[in-house]
A and B are shown apart, each in its own frame.
Chain A
Amino acid sequence: GAGVSQSPRYKVAKRGQDVALRCDPISGHVSLFWYQQALGQGPEFLTYFQNEAQLDKSGLPSDRFFAERPEGSVSTLKIQRTQQEDSAVYLCASSLDLSQAYSFGYTFGSGTRLTVV
């Protein structure tokens, strides 16, 4: 596609429910990032993939958060047993590769707004 696509756009989950958030990066983009953005804050890094390899997951806040990108394209961020503090916008970003990103920046999706009630 022309841009990074994220779905669903909005998700309301009951506390304790599991959720799965999807990111479709731009076709051919090797680098993929997930960020979490709390209300009124800047995005915070969660995890980074290069193709199917998860090279950095240091930002995942707990073992309830899990991300995968099995075929090196679509990525899924899964949150188990959601809690109210998980309420945030989850952003996905991609770039052709890091060299391109260091020259031209990243393309972000519109995000998934997760509300845990």
Chain B
Amino acid sequence: SQQGEEDPQALSIQEGENATMNCSYKTSINNLQWYRQNSGRGLVHLILIRSNEREKHSGRLRVTLDTSKKSSSLLITASRAADTASYFCATGGGGGGNKLTFGTGTQLKVEL
């Protein structure tokens, strides 16, 4: 079963704008990861944040984690058309065991 929800389910923005996606989960975790999936392709790892971290940056990506609320957010700044994809959060370790437990995903469309 899915770990939790992501919202929004779909997001459409203009190139250059920022995109924010949110993820909630249910059990204790060791880490939370974000993945991107282009249509018909595999998942690409974007960024990982550990349960003892609150914020992490990688290029145009910023992820936050609030373990008290069991939630995370992914911010993509200065979006590009190439960022169009589905984005999934996934939790690892903790109550979920060794496997990754994925959310339901956010479909991001960046228009020119």
Interface residues of A (CB under 8 A from B): 4, 6, 31, 33, 35, 41-45, 48, 55-56, 59, 91, 93, 98, 101-111, 113
Establish whether residues A44 and B42, one from each chain, have CB atoms under 8 Å apart when the complex forms: no
Does B95 interact with chain A (Cβ within 8 Å)? no
Do B2 and A44 have beta carbons less than 8 Å apart?
yes
A106 touches B45 (CB 8 A): yes
Q: Out of B45, B97, B102, name the residue touching A44 (CB < 8 Å).
A: B102
Residue of A nearest to B43 (CB): A108
Q: For chain B, give the interface size range.
A: 20 to 34
**CB-contact partner of B104 in A4, A41, A104, under 8 A:** A41
Pairs A–B under 8 Å by Cβ, sample size 6: A41-B2, A42-B88, A42-B90, A44-B1, A102-B30, A108-B45
CA distance A22 to B60 in the complex (A): 35
